[in-house]
Structure 1
Amino acid sequence: MRAFTDPTARKLALTGVAAVASLLLSACGSANDSAGDAASGTKPGSRPSAAGSPAAGAFNDADVAFAQAMIPHHQQALEMAKLADGRAEDTGVKKIVADVEKAQDPEIQTMRSWLKAWGRPESAGRSGHGAGHAMAGMMSERDMKDLESLRGRAFDRKFAELMIAHHEGAVEMAKTEQKDGRDATAKKLADDVVRTQSAEIAELKKILDRI
């Protein structure tokens, strides 16, 4: 091969080699991106699905039952939290109320989006408002009226007692989803329910010990 003795020719040759190398690296990067997108189930250039969106994979009856039961369960927890306004006195109770309101309303919207994506109804064929009270930890209408009638420390104690039972029911349902569910996002939410509500149960028990 003839050596480049002309400095200009040598410079042009080196520039050409660099350009070819850059194109090859770019092509490899694009191929790797496409492979990664294919593995994750996303299209090239698209953003991953939101954490609360249904997973691309298959779901089963346990996933559907979890969402259908947890929606009214969360709704009742929010009803209990609303009763604390103007009635709760203990700062620990007020913190639990704020945490419930912050976490559970968005989770309700997430589970509704799952059921819509799965083509399943929200109610699971239940009839009547009272039917949902048969679920684990759900309060009766009498429980809710008793709670509504209380103020101050009496309210705080009753709220803590009822919310412990309510959370224990939610944890029970979430553990069933962990064991029997198939959809990855539903199982992730179940993990979150077990973790956060178990921690709140511990806090509520501490509140009962001091009031």
Structure 2
Amino acid sequence: MKLHWIQRPGLAGLMAVVIAACNNDKGLQPQAHDANVYQQINHRMMAEMDKMTDTNDPDHDFSMMMRMHHQGAIDMSNEELKSGDNQAMKAMAQQVINAQTAEIAQFAQFLQSHKAVPIPAGPTYNAEEMESMMKMMRAQDVRILTGNSDVDYAQLLIDHHQSALEMAMSELKYGDDAQIRQMATKIIEDQKKEIGMLQDWLKANKNY
């Protein structure tokens, strides 16, 4: 799936204004996005996705994409377990690892036995998937990251989960395999719940 990375000329100016404003608060020291370990993980994930060749079979392409997407979340969660301090965030990280490792195995099993069959709506499906990933990138680009593992993990995982939600919703629109549709439904339910938990944690720990 070619994500076609785009340049956003106004973004640098926007971030300069945001960082300048934040530097007035001595308690917050913004970190360059490319220096942030979680953003580095997401960049690697996006590079892997960019190598993917679409089959225009929604069930097949969703399964291939979600294996890489889930691995990105697992890598982020392993980093949180290593670098984080907050027990609630570390528990969330372990929950993500457990659930998404199991789902990767299910997707791999499906792909091993499934022959991709293109459908006319396949390119439309893949365009929606690409837009979901581009939205995640745009959302993460304007996050204020500080190098605090717990806060950065929570913020970026929200965006990561939101893109998975949207991809799963596209699968339900275009896919027809019962197993993969069931997995998409579970991803929507689980990650909506986790997004709410992450948002509640960030609100309660805004001065963390």
Q: TM-score range by the shorter chain?
A: 0.5 to 0.7
The equivalences for 1:12-27 within 5 A come to: none
1:197 alignment partner in structure 2 = 191
SS at match of 2:180: helix
User: Number of residue pairs matched?
Assistant: 134
SS at match of 1:119: coil
The 2-side partners of 1:136 and 1:95 are apart by 29
2:90 alignment partner in structure 1 = 94
1:119 alignment partner in structure 2 = 115
Asked if the contact 2:136–2:162 (Cα under 8 Å) also holds between the matched residues in 1, the reply is: no
1:46-104 deviation digits (Å, cap 9, x = unpaired): xxxxxxxxxxxxxx811111101111000000100110123112222112101101100
Same amino acid, percent of matched pairs: 32
Shift of 1:139: 6.4
1:83 alignment partner in structure 2 = 79
The answer as to 2:59 corresponding to 1:63 is yes
SS at match of 2:201: helix
SS at match of 2:194: helix
Shift of 1:135: 2.9
Runs of 5+ in structure 2 lacking a partner? 1-55, 117-129
Match of 2:204 among 198, 203, 210: 210
Identify if the C-alpha distance between structure 1 residues 169 and 94 changes in structure 2 by more than 3 Å, giving closer, same or farther. Answer: same
Match of 1:169 among 163, 166, 169: 163
The 2-side partners of 1:135 and 1:64 are apart by 17
Please report the RMSD computed on the Cα atoms of aligned residues, expressed in angstroms.
Answer: 2.7
Runs of 5+ in structure 1 lacking a partner? 1-59, 121-131
Query: Could you tell me the TM-score, scaled by structure 1's length?
Result: 0.57
Point out the structure with max Rg over C-alpha.
Answer: 1
SS at match of 2:82: coil
The 1-side partners of 2:88 and 2:71 are apart by 21
Query: Could you tell me the TM-score, scaled by structure 2's length?
Result: 0.58
Asked if the contact 2:172–2:184 (Cα under 8 Å) also holds between the matched residues in 1, the reply is: yes
Asked if the contact 1:137–1:166 (Cα under 8 Å) also holds between the matched residues in 2, the reply is: no
